[in-house]
C-alpha cells in the first residue's frame, strides 16, 4: 500500500487540483452513509477514473494506491445546493449594478463565486437566475477545467410575466423599458410560454425556472400575487416535459404555489406563505420544497439598515426571514419532500452551509438535513444514479470535516477536504 498523505492548505485563487494516478483511496475515520442513515467507522473509499469502485472496512484493504489519510475526519457526500445565483452578490448597489455590469463583469464574478462554492463543500449546484448566458458558459468552462467550480445545472434566464418578478426592465423609466418577450423570458400567453421554453432549449439550459408570483427584491409592490394563469403555467410545464426539462417555480404567495403544483412543477422555491391545504396538495403531487431560509434571514437583517434597500423592497424584506423558517418547519412536519437550497447570491457565496443550522433549528434532524443536500437533492435533479451518496459506481464527490456533523451540524460550515469527480480541490 502506497501512502500519500495530503496536508495542503489551498488558496482560493491559486488552488491546483490533485488528480488521482490510476487509483486513489480515502481512509475515512467515519463515513456518513445517507442511504442507510448510519455513521460507519473506519471506512476506505477506492476511487478509479472519477468514480467510486469500492467501499470497505479499513482493516480489509490490500492493494497499491495513493491513500489519503482522513482517519481523523468524517467523510460524507459532496453537498448539493439546489438554488444559487452565481452571477449575483447582493449589496446596496444591486439595482445600479443591473445597469453598470455587463456580461464580462458577470463572468468573472461567477467564476470567483463558483470557486468559493466548491471550496465550501458544494460539489453540485442549480443556478436559477442567469444573465447574458453566463451560467451556461460557466458550466462549460468548469467541465473543460478552465475554471474551478462545482458541477452546474442551470435554468438560464427565468420565465416571468410583464412587470413580474424577473421582468428585466422593472423600475426603468419610460423610453428605456421597451417590451421584452419570450426570448428575454417574458411570457403573457400559452403561445409565449412554449416559445420561451424552446428558446431556453436552444440556449443550452438544463431545466426551466418560472416566477409564478411576485418576489422580495424586485421593484414592485406585491411579493405574493400570482403572476401566471393556469394555462400559461401548464404550457410551460408541458413544453418543458417534451424537452426533458424539470420546472422549478419561484413562489411566495399561496395561490401561485397552488397553480404551479397543479400544473406539475418539480419544486417550489421559497414557498413562504403556503397554507395547510397547499402543503397537502404538494404532498399529493410529490412536489419538492426548496426552502432558502438563509436568504430570508439575510434580507431581514439588511432591511434594518437605512438605505440598503429601496423602500419598496425594504418592507417586503423585513417580514420574509421569520416567515420562511416558520413555513419550513410546518412543511417538514407535514411530510413534504425537502431539497436543500439557499438562494446564495442573496446571502454571501461560500456561506451556503449556514442553511443547515436554520433547518435543524426549525425541527429537522442533522441526518435529515444532510440527506436534503445529498440524496434528496440528487433525486430532484434526476441524477440519483450519479450523485447524492457515497456509493459504488457514482461520481467520487466526497467532502470531509473534523468531528461529526450529526452531533454538531455547524461543522459543515468549515469543510477541510473537497473532492469532486475523483479530483482533490481542497485539503487542509
The model's confidence at residue 6, banded by pLDDT at 50, 70 and 90, is very low
Quote the pLDDT of residue 10.
Answer: 38
The model's confidence at residue 86, banded by pLDDT at 50, 70 and 90, is very high
pLDDT at 39 over 60: yes
Q: Which of 88, 76, 77, 144 is nearest to 114 (CA)?
A: 88
Cα–Cα distance, 158 to 292 (Å, whole number): 17
What would the DSSP string read from start to end of 222-275?
-SSSB-S-HHHHHHHHHHHHHTT--EEEEE-SHHHHHHHHHHT-SEEEE-TT--
Quote the pLDDT of residue 62.
Answer: 64
Q: What are the strands of the beta sheet with 208-211, ordered from one edge? A: 208-211, 247-251, 267-270, 288-290
Task: Please give the DSSP secondary-structure letter assigned to residue 186.
Answer: B
pLDDT at 9 over 90: no
For the chain, what is the radius of gyration of the CA atoms?
21
Helix/strand/coil (H/E/C) assignment for every residue in 28-73: EEEEEECCCCEEEEEEEEEEECCEEEEEEEHHHCCCCCEEEEEEEE
For 50, counting Cβ atoms within 10 Å of its Cβ (0-12 exposed, 13-18 middle, 19+ buried), the class is middle
pLDDT at 327 over 60: yes
CA 240 vs CA 136, 255, 263: distances in Å: 18, 22, 12
Mean local confidence (pLDDT), 93-112: 88
List, in order of start, the domains of the chain with CATH numbers. 2-78+389-427 (2.30.40.10), 79-381 (3.20.20.140)
pLDDT tens figures, 382-397: 999 999 999 999 999 9
**What's the grid cell of residue 72?**
481523523
Quote the pLDDT of residue 22.
Answer: 64
User: Average pLDDT of the chain?
Assistant: 91
Helix/strand/coil (H/E/C) assignment for every residue in 312-378: HHHHHHHHHHHHHHHHHHHHHHCCCCECCCCCECCECCCCCCHHHHHHHHCCCCHHHHHHHCCHHHH
Mean local confidence (pLDDT), 229-239: 98
Other beta carbons within 10 angstroms of residue 211's beta carbon come to 26
The model's confidence at residue 175, banded by pLDDT at 50, 70 and 90, is confident
More confident residue, 313 or 81: 81
The model's confidence at residue 98, banded by pLDDT at 50, 70 and 90, is confident
Query: Locate cell 492548505: which residue?
Result: 9
Cα-Cα-Cα-Cα dihedral of 198, 228, 272, 133, to 10°?
A: 30
Please say whether the beta carbons of 284 and 241 come within 8 A.
Answer: no
Query: Locate cell 424586485: which residue?
Result: 218
Quote the pLDDT of residue 312.
Answer: 83
Quote the pLDDT of residue 365.
Answer: 98
The model's confidence at residue 178, banded by pLDDT at 50, 70 and 90, is confident
pLDDT at 258 over 50: yes
What residue ranges in 110-199 does DSSP mark as E strands? 122-127, 151-154
Other beta carbons within 10 angstroms of residue 377's beta carbon come to 28
The model's confidence at residue 286, banded by pLDDT at 50, 70 and 90, is very high
Amino acid at each position: 500500500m502506497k501512502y500519500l498523505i495530503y496536508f495542503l492548505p489551498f488558496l482560493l485563487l491559486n488552488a491546483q487540483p490533485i488528480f488521482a494516478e490510476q487509483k486513489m483511496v480515502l481512509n475515512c475515520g467515519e463515513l456518513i452513509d445517507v442511504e442507510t442513515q448510519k455513521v460507519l467507522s473506519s471506512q476506505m473509499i477506492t476511487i478509479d477514473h472519477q468514480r467510486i469502485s469500492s467501499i470497505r472496512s479499513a482493516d480489509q484493504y490490500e492493494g497499491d494506491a495513493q491513500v489519503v489519510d482522513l482517519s481523523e475526519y468524517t467523510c460524507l457526500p459532496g453537498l448539493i445546493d439546489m438554488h444559487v445565483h452565481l452571477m449575483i452578490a447582493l449589496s446596496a448597489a444591486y439595482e445600479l449594478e443591473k445597469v453598470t455590469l455587463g456580461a464580462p463583469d458577470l463572468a468573472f464574478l461567477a467564476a470567483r463565486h463558483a470557486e468559493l462554492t466548491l471550496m465550501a463543500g458544494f460539489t453540485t449546484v442549480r443556478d436559477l437566475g442567469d444573465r447574458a448566458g453566463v451560467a451556461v458558459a460557466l458550466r462549460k468552462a468548469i467541465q473543460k477545467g478552465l475554471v474551478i467550480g462545482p458541477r452546474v445545472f442551470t435554468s438560464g434566464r427565468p420565465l416571468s410575466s410583464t412587470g413580474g418578478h424577473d421582468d428585466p426592465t422593472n423600475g426603468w423609466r419610460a423610453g428605456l423599458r421597451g417590451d421584452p418577450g419570450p426570448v428575454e423570458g417574458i411570457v403573457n400567453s400559452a403561445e409565449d410560454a412554449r416559445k420561451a421554453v424552446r428558446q431556453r432549449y436552444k440556449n443550452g439550459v438544463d431545466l426551466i425556472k418560472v416566477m409564478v408570483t411576485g418576489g422580495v427584491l424586485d421593484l414592485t409592490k406585491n411579493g405574493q400575487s400570482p403572476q401566471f394563469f393556469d394555462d400559461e403555467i401548464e404550457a410551460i410545464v408541458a413544453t418543458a416535459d417534451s424537452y426533458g426539462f424539470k420546472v422549478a417555480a419561484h413562489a411566495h404567495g399561496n395561490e401561485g404555489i397552488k397553480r404551479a403544483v397543479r400544473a406539475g412543477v418539480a419544486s417550489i422555491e421559497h414557498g413562504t406563505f403556503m397554507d395547510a391545504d397547499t402543503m397537502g396538495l404538494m404532498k399529493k403531487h410529490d412536489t419538492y420544497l426548496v426552502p432558502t431560509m438563509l436568504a430570508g434571514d439575510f434580507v431581514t437583517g439588511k432591511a434594518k439598515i437605512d438605505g440598503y434597500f429601496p423602500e419598496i423592497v425594504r418592507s417586503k424584506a423585513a417580514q420574509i426571514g421569520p416567515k420562511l423558517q416558520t413555513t419550513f418547519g410546518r412543511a417538514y412536519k407535514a411530510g413534504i419532500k425537502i431539497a436543500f437550497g439557499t438562494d446564495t447570491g442573496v446571502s454571501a457565496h461560500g456561506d451556503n452551509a449556514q442553511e443547515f443550522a436554520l433547518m435543524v433549528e426549525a425541527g429537522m434532524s442533522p441526518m435529515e438535513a444532510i440527506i436534503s443536500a445529498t440524496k434528496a437533492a440528487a433525486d430532484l435533479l434526476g441524477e440519483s444514479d450519479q450523485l447524492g451518496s457515497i456509493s459504488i459506481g457514482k461520481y467520487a464527490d466526497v467532502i470531509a470535516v473534523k468531528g461529526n456533523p450529526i452531533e454538531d451540524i455547524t461543522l459543515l460550515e468549515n469543510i477541510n477536504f473537497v473532492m469532486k469527480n475523483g479530483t482533490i480541490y481542497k485539503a487542509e
